[in-house]
Amino acid sequence: MNDTSELFSYSGDELESFETAVNWKAYWSAQIAPYIGQDVLELGAGLGATARTLAGHPVRRWLGLEPDPAMCDVVRQRTRTMPFPAGYEIRCGTSETLDSAELFDTVLYIDVLEHIEDDRGELDRVAALLRPGGHVVVVAPAHQWLYTDFDRKIGHFRRYNAAMLKAIVPAGLTVCRMRYLDSVGMLASLGNKLVLRSDSPKASQIRLWDSVMVRLSRWIDPLAGYQLGKSIVCVLSKPAAS
């Protein structure tokens, strides 16, 4: 396994800013809950927020990979006082540092794939680590026309639409869920891009979005057929062994 001691140093602060977005976490986590298997690989573990959001799922093992050593240290400290999934392990690294013998039922990219320049190569790599019947789950910011200075500031190479994600599906995997979330938030993001032009959301704006807009979106999104939203959920499946 490669040395990861100098892999990456994260300089943004949006992870801390969005930690309090409890309604949003409840929304996207409900969308992906049916696809969480026994052995989970989470790419870009950050501060452990995704693992803690999904801590109630009965998993056997949860491996969080995070390229920033300082963040890994924070997560290790948090595991002593906060609820994490059963069998949780934080490891400093990326998909490139994994042993090919490590296999998983679920691979998670929660607001992570857009940070990876070679997203096609990334998905090809993890597809080989997926057991038959397993799933790759992507939650990502949607629509390149919503790309702003904030995206650039926090290291987003792109925002996705359904066609972009379908174009990078690895051989042997198929799309079993593709839907947009947060239609009300999409309108707010468009307003910010056209009018406010803020390069980072304020804490008060995050609270308003999470407490009001996300709740409205949970009612409106199904009525719109999940065709509108500022985030996209894509679930890829690997056929079960015959």
Tell me: the pLDDT tens digits for 154-204? Answer: 999 999 999 999 999 999 999 999 999 999 999 988 987 776 566 677 888
pLDDT given for residue 5 in this prediction = 38
Taking 60 as the threshold, does the pLDDT of residue 2 lie above it?
no
| Residue 222 Cα distances to 28, 217, 234, angstroms | 13, 9, 16
CA pseudo-torsion sign 111, 116, 118, 123: negative
pLDDT given for residue 203 in this prediction = 85
In the chain, what are the domains? Answer: 14-237 (3.40.50.150)
CA distance 183 to 31: 15
Residues 76-90, mean pLDDT to the nearest whole number: 96
| Residue 209 Cα distances to 23, 95, 171, 215, angstroms | 9, 33, 38, 9
Angle between helices 183-191 and 214-223 (to 10 degrees): 120
The one-character DSSP state at 76 is H
pLDDT given for residue 230 in this prediction = 97
Cβ(159)–Cβ(114) under 8 Å? yes
Taking 80 as the threshold, does the pLDDT of residue 225 lie above it?
yes
Exposure b/e, 195-205, CB count within 10 A at least 16 = b: eeeeeebeeeb
Taking 60 as the threshold, does the pLDDT of residue 9 lie above it?
no
pTM for the model = 0.91
Taking 50 as the threshold, does the pLDDT of residue 126 lie above it?
yes
pLDDT given for residue 197 in this prediction = 60
CA distance 108 to 42: 5
Ramachandran assignment for 229, one of left (phi > 0), alpha (psi -120 to 50 degrees), beta (any other)? left
Tokens representing 88 are 């949780």
The DSSP result for 176-222, as a single string, is: EEEEEE-HHHHHHHHHIIIII--SS--HHHHHHIIIIIHHHHHHHHH
CB proximity list for 169: less than 8 A, separation 6 or greater: 123, 175, 236
Tokens representing 178 are 């593709």
Taking 50 as the threshold, does the pLDDT of residue 34 lie above it?
yes
Cβ(136)–Cβ(145) under 8 Å? no
